[in-house]
């Protein structure tokens, strides 16, 4: 199943994607894809719907919102691709590097990314995003993590490197500007991904800037696998339904080029992950 939220900002309605071009609204069954609904069996309710009896709408007629409404936590795993650690000039970590982004960074799949005033080093990062479907705390092993995952989506983990690294090295400062986490276009549930013969630990993912391929890798370059990350994070905080985890970015970020290739405003970012889809974001300057 592919689940989405379609409509204007703050007026999105939950929907199920039934083809590459069509969707079915289900807001009469659940109010939204948010923590409260997900904790109260939203997915089970949706699975019982006869989608074939409902009117279809064209996806292209609607704005595609973030597939999770106001996640309570946006958790990120840093330096989690071997080649990215190398290009960053850092040693691969012995344990996952965990940091947070402000939840208000999350925006729709194709919404504009705003470069903050006086930004010096705004960067891009394609990331496979895990969406939690069931609360998780103190999981006993990585194998236990799978049952707590709802599915997967795309995150574009925008970062301001000057604030992240050079201003006392506090990553959250460079990660939490408004619009710094476009997400979507929908959540592909883990069973849907498997049905299509795809494994989240070996998906192609890429990012282009104005048509130039900057990142082109696979999730098999992850240092710490998806289940390991979910298990590890659950040792330090309770994961709630609807929380999202950005699992890391591969090599090719702007910081890794010589000379560096940062976003200045006016660029078009296209972010794609195999089996999930594509999101497209225009970069604009703050006014």
| H or E element in which residue 123 lies | strand 122-123
Give the distance between the most distant pair of CA atoms in the chain. 57
pLDDT higher than threshold 90 for residue 96: yes
> For residue 44, how many other CB atoms are within 10 A of its CB?
8
Q: What are 141-191's pLDDT values in tens digits? A: 999 999 999 999 999 999 999 988 777 667 888 899 999 999 999 999 999
CATH of domain 74-285: 3.90.850.10
Residue in 233, 231, 226, 244 with CA at minimum distance from that of residue 74 = 244
Give the pLDDT confidence score for residue 91 in this predicted structure: 81
The domain spans of the chain are 2-61, 74-285
Please write the tens of the pLDDT for every residue from 195-242: 999 999 999 999 999 999 999 999 999 999 999 999 999 999 999 999
Mean pLDDT, the chain, as a whole number?
A: 95
Contact 88, 131 (CB under 8 A): no
CA dihedral of residues 240, 241, 243, 248 (deg, nearest 10): 100
Query: CA 106, CA 270: separation in Å to the nearest integer?
Result: 17
Q: Is residue 104 within 8 Å of 182, Cβ to Cβ? A: no
Residues 89-98 as b/e (b if ≥16 CB within 10 A, e otherwise) read eeeeeeebbb
What does pTM read for this prediction?
A: 0.95
DSSP assignment letter at 205: E
């Amino acid at each position: 199943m592919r689940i989405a939220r379609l409509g204007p900002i703050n007026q999105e309605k939950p929907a199920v994607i039934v083809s590459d071009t069509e969707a079915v609204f289900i807001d009469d069954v659940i109010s939204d894809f948010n923590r409260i609904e997900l904790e109260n069996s939203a997915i089970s309710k949706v699975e019982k719907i006869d989608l074939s009896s409902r009117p279809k709408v064209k996806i292209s007629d609607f704005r595609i919102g973030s597939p999770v409404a106001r996640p309570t936590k946006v958790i990120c795993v840093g330096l989690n691709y071997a080649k990215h650690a190398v290009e960053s000039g850092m040693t691969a970590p012995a344990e996952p590097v965990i940091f947070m982004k402000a939840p208000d960074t999350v925006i729709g799949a194709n919404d504009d990314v705003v470069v903050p005033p006086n930004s010096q080093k705004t960067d891009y990062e394609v990331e496979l995003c895990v969406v939690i479907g069931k609360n998780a705390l103190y999981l006993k092993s990585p194998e236990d993590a799978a049952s707590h995952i709802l599915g997967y989506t795309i995150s574009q983990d925008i970062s301001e490197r000057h604030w992240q690294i050079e201003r006392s090295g506090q990553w959250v400062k460079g990660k939490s500007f408004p619009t710094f986490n476009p997400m979507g276009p929908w959540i592909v549930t883990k069973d849907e991904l498997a049905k299509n013969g795809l494994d989240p630990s070996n998906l192609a993912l890429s990012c282009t800037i104005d048509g130039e391929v900057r990142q082109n890798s696979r999730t098999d370059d992850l240092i710490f696998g998806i289940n390991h990350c979910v298990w590890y994070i659950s040792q330090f905080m309770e994961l709630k339904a609807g929380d999202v985890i950005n699992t890391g970015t591969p090599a090719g970020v702007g910081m890794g080029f010589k000379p560096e290739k940062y976003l200045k405003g006016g660029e078009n970012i296209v972010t794609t992950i195999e089996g999930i889809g594509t999101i497209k974001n225009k970069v604009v300057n703050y006014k």
